[in-house]
Structures are given as C-alpha cells and as structure tokens.
Structure 1
Amino acid sequence: MRAFRWPPPPNGGPRTCGPGPGAPRTGRPPLPEPETELVDTPHGVRLERLVTGVGDPVTVFAHGFGNGIATTRPFGSGVHGRKVFFQFRGHGRSDAPDGPWSYLDLARDLRAVADLGGATRAFGVSLGAGALCRLLVESPDRFDRLVFFLPAALDRPRCPAAGARLTELLAAVEVGDASAVAEVVSAELPPAVRNTPAGWAYLRQRLDHLLRDGLAAGLADLPGQVPVPDARALAAVTAPALVIAAEGDDLHPVEVAEQLTAVLPGAILHRYARPGVLWTERADLRGRISEFLNG
C-alpha cells in the first residue's frame, strides 16, 4: 500500500492507477456546494439546513461525527420528494451551546429539523443513526420509514478505538493542523482510493469544511455515551426499517447493526462484505437506499 502524503502533489495526485471500483472517476467533488440557511428551533439552537427536491414524501438526513451536509447528500441522490439535510450542533455553521452534550440533545436537533420540514422518513448514519434511535425511544411512531447506515452504538458506548479516533480529530481541528486532520480523515478511505484524484478531492472537501467551521468541544464526551438507555425500548417502533452494515468496519461493528435489527420489529439487515462501501459499492448503496425509501 502506498504511504499517505499531505499536502497533495501539485497536480492533484497520482493518476496512473485511478480510483477504486465504484468511486468517482475525476478529482472533482461529485456535488457542488449549495447555499445553506440557518433556522431557529424551538429549543433555541440555530441549525444549518439545506432543502432540496420538491413534493412529498419528505426525508430528513442525519450525518455522522465530524461530517455534515456535503457528505450526507450523496445518500439522497435517488430519493423522491424533498430532502432535508442539516448540521448537528457543533458542526458547520450550527450553534454550539455550552456543552457537554448528550444523544438526547442531538435527538432534539433532529426532531426540530424534521418537524420544521414536515419529514415523514428519516436516514441516519453513524452518530446520526444514534440520534435517530434516541428520538424513536421518545416518539416511536414519528416516522413511517427508516434507514440506519453504519450504526455505531446502541445501548453500549462506542469501542475505545472509535473514541480515540474522534478525540484525535477534535484535537487536530482545534489547533488547525491540516496535516493532522488529513491523517485522521484519510482513514475513512479504502487503501485503493488513497493517493488518487478522487481521494484527494474528498480530503480537500473535508478539510475545507473542518478547518473553516471547526468542531465544538461539546462533542468530546459523545463517544463514551450511549444513544439509548435500553435497546429493548425500540421494540415499540413499527415502521419499516433498513439497517446497513459493513464487515470489517471497526468503528461501526456489525454486531451493533445486528442488535438494532433484532429489536426493531419491521427491520431488515443488509451487510456488505467489506468496509468503504461509499467507494466500493456506491451504485448499489444508493440504489438500495432509494429503493427502500421510495417504496
């Protein structure tokens, strides 16, 4: 495997091997950056939001730790109706009230954005999946279709490796060290994609957002918390649900996805054979999500 380097070479990176299977074939980000808005919520936290598409149904998309609107938008590319993307507190231009925060706080952010947009369906990835679970404990009938992509924790804290990775990212962003941030973010990429034009484009996009907007210190305690006190409370959720996992993803253990599928009465589980599915199984993943939500 080639060693990771930062900053990238002047020409944008080696072009001899190309990106991994299913990945974008150019070094440009696949989606342009649109203009977002700040919306007031009933609990007093202004959140950054983007609404795309027209008509019904309305689907809300909840992102993962250190991610945001830009990285969540590809999941909705084939989904019908309006799509509501947002940034949790402490991410992007959203407010960062005094912390520390809990998954209940994130669930309030998600509920507020869903209510303001009239969302009837929800998608959550990693941290966003945990916030969605917490919302459903409080309101099991809030949505009529659900997608959980790479759930990271349920009624037990995240593994120590995940906590260390997220702590490292927060520290690198806080001091504005682009090289350190790039080292942490590059771990999200499959080895075959690193040092390719597509990989460099992804890193540039992530670094632009993280170093411009930062990450709030109130996020630091979340890896040691549990999204829900008791997973069995999710048995009251009857909406159809799709749970997606990937074998070999140490930060998002398959066991969490299996537990979530077992407690949700209307859930089905799809597991991919290897991690990095946004790069290796991009078309299949998008099609699977859109087919389920459009159904």
Structure 2
Amino acid sequence: MRDFRWPPPPDAGPRTYGPGPSAPRTGRPALPEPETELVDTPHGVRLERLITGSGEPVTVFAHGLGSGIATTRPLGSAVAGRKIFFQFRGHGRSDAPVGPWTYLDLARDLRAMADLGGATRALGVSLGAGALCRLLVESPERFDRVVFYLPAVLDEPRSPAVRQRLDDLLDAIESGDESELAEEVSRELPPAVRNTPAGWAYLRQRLEQLQRDGLAPALSTLPDQFPVRDRSALASVTAHALVIGCAGDELHPAPVAEQLAQALPNATLHIYDKPGVLWTERADLRARISDFLNG
C-alpha cells in the first residue's frame, strides 16, 4: 500500500510501503520557473506576466483560483504563436488591491493582459474561465477563439466545498507549517499520482511558490460569487468556443460545462470521464486544445 508522506524522501523518492518494491525511485525534477515581469495596467493593478513563443496568433491564458502561471503553461505547450501567461490579482507577484473583488475585477485583469499583448484568443481555467465569461458578456466580439477548461461557475454560486478548500489553503499558508501546506496542496493531485516522482516535483514547485508569494486573503470572497447574472447574455458571443469539463469533479461540476456550451452559440463540448485530466489524459488534452486554437 502506498500513501502520501511529507517531507519527501531526500533522494526524490517515492517510497513505497508494504508488499512490492520498496526502493526509492529517482524522479525528474520540476523545471525551474522562468523569469517573469510586472506589468502596469490601465486600471492601476500591476500584474505578473510571462510571454513565450513568437508570431501570430496571440493567446492569453488565465489560471484557476489559488493557482498560477505554472499550472496553465502545460495547456499551451503545443499552441502556435505567442502565448501570454499571467497571475490574477492576489496571486504570485501581482498586486493585491483592497478587496473585496468581483469577477468584473478579474475580467479587467484578463482584458488588460489581452489588450496589452494583442491577444485574439483566450483560454480560461476554472476561475479564469469565469473571468473570461464576464469579459465576453461585456465585449462579445473580443476574441476569435476561446477555450474554457474545467469551468466551475456560471450564473449560480459555487458549492460550499470550494470555499472550504480555499479557506483550508489560506489557513495553511498563514500557519507557516510546511507539512500542513503540503497536505493541502497534495489534494490537487489524483491519489494515484501523489507518491510518484511527477507528484513530488509538482508538490515541491507549488510549495516553493506559495511559501514565497502567498495568496491574498481577499480571494476568500470569490467562491460566493458568480461571473454572469444570466447565462443568456452569452448568446451574443461571436467567438468559436471549446468547452472542456470532467465527470466526477466536485470543484468543477460537469453540468456547468454543459450549461456553458449550451449558452454559447458556437461551442464544442467535451467531457472527460474522470478527474485529474491533466495527469491522466495530458497528451489528449494538449492535442485537443492545440488543434482547436491552431485551427
């Protein structure tokens, strides 16, 4: 039987317990984080940004609640052209102005990054998908192509489980207890991945970033909000859309993805059959996203 343990084995493990091989196995370390920059925006909030690739088209990537650039980069690895990754307010090195914040504030962050970089395409993950929805309600013709990966909320508040997960993460960061924080971050991983070299590498990188930059307490009000008052407002969106959901994901219910795809006039929907898609279906996911955005 294998279980999650912290701190990790000094030789990068994982260790296994019980019957079967018990020797540590060396894992490939996580890639070092690339150098980012702080960018001034028209609405007065400096945001952390990373630009990779070159040429056209330009795609902006918006991360999920409590995540950041590192977790969205794999989604763009096969996408052509220039790619803009950024941190929403309260994440990473981005500013954390006085809250409370709304999805309108997040949409402003996303719009600023898109406008400054000349992006014609966008991908939003969870919270980022909500910000993208709000931006499109305000400017339905802003993008040519959009991807919504694991949308979590549309026109109704998120489940209490989301608020609890975020509160637990914020408390663990505030406590300064590395083991407690590691336990919370490990919940982001599928159980089968938690004691593997890839899981340890992800965990180390996330811990380093959260311990260095933290998360703004003002983020705690976002789980009670939703991006659009009425999903019918998305009927004017002109962009071609790809909506990707997942069955069995408590934090990103598949019905939300289905509702979003129905509300958008030019949408394709794909639902994976189990959570942990970025770990279990990474090649298919990357190909699905790049085929759509490169089209």
TM-score, normalisation: structure 2: 0.95
Q: Aligned partners of 1:215, 1:229: CA distance in 2, in Å?
A: 27
Aligned partner letter, 1:100: P
Q: Give a deviation string over 1:154-185, Cα, whole Å, max 9, x none.
A: 10111111111011111111222222221121
Q: Aligned partners of 1:153, 1:27: CA distance in 2, in Å?
A: 35
Name the structure 1 match of 2:219: 219
Indicate the RMSD between aligned Cα atoms, in angstroms. Answer: 1.5
Aligned partner letter, 1:171: D
Name the structure 1 match of 2:289: 289
Q: Secondary structure at the match of 1:88?
A: coil
Deviates more, 1:4-13 or 1:253-262: 4-13
What percent of counterpart residues are identical? 75
Name the structure 1 match of 2:180: 180
Q: Give a deviation string over 1:171-220, Cα, whole Å, max 9, x none.
A: 11122222222112111111111111111110000011011000001101
Deviates more, 1:182-191 or 1:248-257: 182-191
Q: How many residue pairs end up in the alignment?
A: 288
Question: How do 1:76-95 residues align onto structure 2 when only pairs under 5 Å count?
Answer: 76-95=76-95
Name the structure 2 match of 1:61: 61
Q: Secondary structure at the match of 1:265?
A: coil
Aligned partner letter, 1:28: P
Aligned partner letter, 1:93: R
Name the structure 2 match of 1:46: 46
Q: Aligned partners of 1:219, 1:15: CA distance in 2, in Å?
A: 36
- Give the structure, 1 or 2, with the largest relative contact order (CA under 8 Å, sep 6 or more): 1
**Greater Rg over alpha carbons, structure:** 2
Aligned partner letter, 1:211: Q
Name the structure 1 match of 2:98: 98
Runs of 4+ more than 4 Å apart: 15-18
Deviates more, 1:109-118 or 1:170-179: 170-179
Q: Give a deviation string over 1:65-112, Cα, whole Å, max 9, x none.
A: 111111111111000000000000000000000011111100000000
Aligned partner letter, 2:232: R
Question: Is 1:27 matched up with 2:28?
Answer: yes
Aligned partner letter, 1:186: S
Q: Aligned partners of 2:201, 2:212: CA distance in 1, in Å?
A: 16
Name the structure 1 match of 2:10: 10
Contact 1:48 1:92 in 2 (8 A): yes
Q: Aligned partners of 2:146, 2:90: CA distance in 1, in Å?
A: 25
Q: What displacement does 1:125 show?
A: 0.3
Aligned partner letter, 2:85: F
Unpaired segments ≥5 residues, structure 1:
19-24
Q: What displacement does 1:238 show?
A: 2.0
Aligned partner letter, 2:107: A
Q: Aligned partners of 1:114, 1:14: CA distance in 2, in Å?
A: 41
Contact 2:12 2:27 in 1 (8 A): no
Aligned partner letter, 2:74: P
Q: Aligned partners of 2:89, 2:197: CA distance in 1, in Å?
A: 31
TM-score, normalisation: structure 1: 0.95
Q: What displacement does 1:228 show?
A: 1.1
Q: Aligned partners of 1:132, 1:178: CA distance in 2, in Å?
A: 33
Name the structure 2 match of 1:148: 148
Q: Aligned partners of 1:61, 1:26: CA distance in 2, in Å?
A: 28
Q: Aligned partners of 2:103, 2:174: CA distance in 1, in Å?
A: 22
Name the structure 2 match of 1:246: 246
Q: Give a deviation string over 1:18-46, Cα, whole Å, max 9, x none.
A: 9xxxxxx94322x4311100000000000
Deviates more, 1:57-66 or 1:188-197: 188-197
Q: Aligned partners of 1:134, 1:64: CA distance in 2, in Å?
A: 15
Name the structure 2 match of 1:233: 233
Name the structure 2 match of 1:270: 270
Q: What displacement does 1:15 show?
A: 6.0
Q: Aligned partners of 1:247, 1:161: CA distance in 2, in Å?
A: 16
Q: Secondary structure at the match of 2:41?
A: coil
**Distance change (3 Å), C-alpha of 1:32 and 1:10:** closer
Name the structure 2 match of 1:132: 132
Q: What displacement does 1:60 show?
A: 0.1
Contact 1:174 1:215 in 2 (8 A): no
